[in-house]
């Protein structure tokens, strides 16, 4: 069963690159802040690169104006996430998080078996809004769709 609104984001450790490889646990990532974490099945994949991440890059300032930080996550390694972020002109402050072993993805109950495509376990496409580590909004895409986890949709449906 996947995480539900009102539940605390489970503990896991992610990685990112910022002047070297860093580890960040979810308690630190989500604590004392408002954060939208959106997840994609894979860096450099078509929908993720052409629509999902670019929407959050385009609307990054709108989230920040609401006092909300933004982070992108995929079941890839930190080096791939960093390279993808650079290629997509991700603004400073938007973390590109690697869930290399799908630890957080599994803990959230949002894993996707993409073995049939040679990709192994990946994350479903979703967006999660949390305040101080408590989930206040969750938008999970149906297989093959891209609508409810888009930056535009999430901005329009943030809890007030």
Active-site positions read: 48
Contact 56, 149 (CB under 8 A): no
DSSP H helix total and E strand total for the chain = 7, 9
How far apart (Å, rounded) are the C-alpha atoms in residues 13 and 6? 21
Instruction: Give me 152's structure tokens.
Output: 């535009």
How far apart (Å, rounded) are the C-alpha atoms in residues 26 and 49? 25
How far apart (Å, rounded) are the C-alpha atoms in residues 121 and 95? 22
């Amino acid at each position: 069963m996947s995480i539900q609104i009102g539940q605390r984001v489970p503990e896991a450790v992610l990685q990112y690159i910022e002047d070297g490889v860093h580890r960040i646990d979810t308690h630190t990532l989500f604590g004392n802040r408002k954060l939208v974490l959106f997840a994609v099945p894979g860096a450099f994949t078509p929908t993720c690169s052409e629509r999902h991440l670019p929407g959050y890059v385009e609307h990054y300032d709108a989230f920040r104006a609401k006092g909300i930080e933004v982070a992108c996550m995929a079941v890839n390694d930190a080096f791939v996430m960093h390279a993808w972020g650079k290629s997509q002109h991700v603004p400073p402050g938007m973390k590109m998080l690697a869930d290399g072993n799908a630890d957080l993805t599994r803990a959230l109950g949002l894993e996707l078996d993409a073995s049939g495509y040679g990709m192994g376990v990946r994350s479903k496409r979703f967006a999660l809004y949390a305040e101080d580590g408590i989930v206040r909004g969750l938008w999970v895409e149906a297989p093959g769709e891209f609508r409810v986890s888009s930056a535009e949709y999430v901005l329009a449906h943030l809890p007030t």
